[in-house]
Structure 1
Amino acid sequence: MSEKAVVIYSGGMDSFTVLNQAIAEGYQVYPLSFNYGQRHLKELEFAAKVCENLNVQHKVVDISAINSLLAGSSLTDDIDIPEGHYEEDSMKSTVVPNRNMILLSLAVGYAVSIGANKVFYGAHSGDHAIYPDCRPEFVEKMKAVCAIADYQPIDIVTPFLNDSKIDILTHGLKMGLDYSQSWTCYNGRAKACGKCGACQERLEAFAENDLTDPLEYE
């Protein structure tokens, strides 16, 4: 039987690629998505549909009660989503305090309970400027903690930690992935806004690959 792996799966481009990469490597995947009180659930809808098509066991866990503890982020509070590139200082308002440590802790607990040895998540170099919990030093510390936090050591796997969004898309396209099955925009409207940092980075990745994003934009 193939080795089990939990994949933190938001429904976005990066985790979509990570999920399919884990499957391609032969893992029996257990995608895990979270409602942590984010301002829209559109990514989770995309995630559910992908998992249904892949016929894999998908868990969506409602931890939205923690929203009251994680104030100050434009992704969870009634604060306008900033427009502009991730390199801009205004994008720091999209940081959700301690989000990845919380999600990884829950995913590791799930992995232990099902006998999985690995937890995958989609940190990448494009996030390093803004998100401390996507940086190599954070991943190193989490790997060390999760190796000793239980009787069963769990490995935190970040296959694209040192790659850009452009690199991730290039890799996924070579795998034949359909990125119309992923949602990136921080706004949950009918079409992607094209102006938030997430949209701009996604559009840049498609442009650098000489392609048009299959999602519709406002």
Structure 2
Amino acid sequence: MKRAVILLSGGLDSAVTLWLAKSEGYELFTLSFDYGQRHKKELEAAAEITKVAGVKEHRLVTINMDQWGGSSLTDKNMEVEDGDVNRTDIPVTYVPARNMVFLSIAASYAEAIDAQNIFIGVSQVDYSGYVDCRESFIKAMENAINQGTVMAAEKNRPITIHAPFIYKTKTEEIKTGAKLGVPFGLTWSCYRGGEKPCGTCDSCLLRAKAFQEAGVVDEGITETGERK
């Protein structure tokens, strides 16, 4: 069976990506990162999601990116700003080169387990100004990986980075997830990581807008905004 490494944060995008890879018949290997982020809610969600998805192996990698900060997600001295769904600037929640780091580690893991496929749930359409969610970056990383791995450079077994939602809106993604039976209620999106989603950060606003546009009930949120 063909193998795939799926970057799984525990959020909405990565969960739908996982179910899509599952529907395509891959043997699933998930990779999550404790990178010094503000909270561990998504990591707890990722662990629960893997149980439901029937993942072959789930790995949690620790990287202390909070040592140098540079983002309100890794520096607790910075505040997570309220969101703006029409934002055009790069928000303070951008973590410097995060996807570059994650994909590099995913490539190492993929080569070690002889997997030629890496899945990542980024979107160039709803990317909130994150430069490492663009197709040009994904293609550049794929090229670098295949220049720097024995599997590709010497054994003619190149690694493909799949970004199935790169040109899809979050609304389209949710519709796909609903058809695939993604347990949306297990996912966590809020940047602030409180007892319940804040409802005002970029991630919460984009999630609410997308579920409304998709005409799908967000199973993780009650009418009062509390997590079920």
Shorter-chain TM-score category? over 0.9
- Counting only pairs closer than 5 Å after superposition, residues 32-181 of structure 1 correspond to structure 2 as 32-56=31-55, 57-63=57-63, 65-69=64-68, 71-78=69-76, 79-88=78-87, 92-152=91-151, 153-181=158-186
Cα offsets for 1:158-212 (capped at 9, x unmatched): 0111101101001111112221011111011111111111011100111102233
The residue identity in structure 1 corresponding to 2:191 is Y
Amino acid at match of 1:30: F
- Report SS of the residue matched to 1:43: helix
Q: CA deviation at 1:89?
A: 5.3
RMSD: 1.5
TM-score by length of 1: 0.93
- Deviates further, 181-190 or 32-41: 181-190
2:38 and 2:73 in contact (8 A); partners too? yes
Q: CA deviation at 1:50?
A: 1.2
3-state DSSP class of the match of 1:59? strand
Q: Distance in 2 between matches of 1:143 and 1:154?
A: 7
Counterpart of 2:214 in structure 1 is: 209
How far, CA to CA, are the matches of 1:129 and 1:178 in structure 2? 24
Alignment of 1:192 onto 2:197:
yes
In the alignment, the residues of structure 1 paired with residue 33 and residue 214 of structure 2 have an alpha-carbon distance, to the nearest angstrom, of 30
Quick one: which amino acid aligns to residue 61 of structure 2? Answer: V
Of all paired residues, the percent bearing the same amino acid is 39
> Per-residue displacement from partner, 1:77-116 (whole Å, max 9, x unpaired)?
1211111224325761011000000010001000000110
Q: Which runs of 5+ in 2 are unaligned?
A: 152-157
SS of the residue 1:169 aligns to: helix
On the 8 A contact 2:41/2:188 being kept in 1, the answer is yes
Question: Which whole-Å CA distance do the structure 1 matches of 2:52 and 2:169 have between them?
Answer: 27
Question: Contact 2:87–2:128 (CA<8 Å) still a contact in 1?
Answer: no
Change (3 A) 1:210 1:54: closer
Question: Unpaired segments of 5 or more residues in structure 1?
Answer: none
Q: Is the 8 A contact 1:86 1:130 kept in 2?
A: no
Q: What's the offset of the Cα at 1:40? A: 0.3
Structure 2 Cα separation of the partners of residues 148 and 176 of structure 1? 37
Contact 1:8–1:33 (8 Å) recurs in 2: yes
Query: One-letter code of the match for 1:175?
Result: L
Per mean C-alpha deviation after superposition, the further-off stretch among 22-31 and 79-88 is 79-88
Report how many aligned residue pairs link the two structures: 215
Q: Which runs of 4+ in 1 moved over 4 A?
A: none
Structure holding more helix per residue = 1
Secondary structure at the counterpart of residue 15 of structure 1 = helix
Report the TM-score when normalising by structure 2.
0.89
Q: Which amino acid aligns with 2:12?
A: M
Structure-2 residue corresponding to 1:22: 21
Residue aligned with 1:22, SS: helix
